[in-house]
Structure 1
């Protein structure tokens, strides 16, 4: 699938925020995920996004091409995401570790896809002639 730079950026930020949501202080309601994201400095964000990028980006790029109508998000079935993650995942792990890795990556990719902004209409961007 060909995502725009903005779509990839939003997807990765969404995946990173889903990881931050697993923190104890966020889970217990002591901090908000968006507030925590804003308090992180650039280097902290880079470290988180870098670690997620090696797991999520290859899967996003390998997803099959789908037609996306303007104003909608690309949608994939759970089966498509799982098949793509399994295709990209390395085989050098044991059966149990590979199963855990696949489940975790599927969750990350689905979180990323949920944060992809609606596709813009290229004709609307140009304006009337």
Structure 2
């Protein structure tokens, strides 16, 4: 699937916030807002998370099948499409159980990233699609 730089950035950032929220007790318990926590992190901390997730997510996002996307809607994929794509990208040199766990976890992470994709812009409009 072809994504713009803006779409990939938004998807990766959304998935990173989900990961940070899952790690932080104060966010899980509702005592802190994930956007506030994300803004309070320094640039290097955000970079470390985005770098690790990018290595896992970007190859899968790029390998997703092309689907027609109407202007004003975000791309969406079925769980089977995402799982098959993840299975094609994940290496086979780990054990069968470990690979199954990795495929399941990465599929959920990719679905989270896809859920954060912004709606597509109209290609005939005179707006720049990479800038909100």
* TM-score (structure 2 length as normaliser): 0.92
Other-structure match for 1:54: 55
Give how far 1:122 is off: 2.0
1:17 is the counterpart of 2:20: no
Give how far 1:125 is off: 2.3
Number of aligned residues: 126
1:123 is the counterpart of 2:124: yes
Give how far 1:32 is off: 1.0
Deviating runs (4+, > 4 A) in structure 1? none
RMSD: 0.9
Q: 1:17-54: per-residue Cα shift (whole Å, max 9, x none)? A: 11011022211112111111111111111000000011
Other-structure match for 1:113: 114
* TM-score (structure 1 length as normaliser): 0.94
Give the Cα–Cα distance (whole angstroms) in 2 for the partners of residues 92 and 86 of structure 1: 13
Q: 1:88-107: per-residue Cα shift (whole Å, max 9, x none)? A: 00101111111111111001
Unaligned runs of 5+ in 1: none
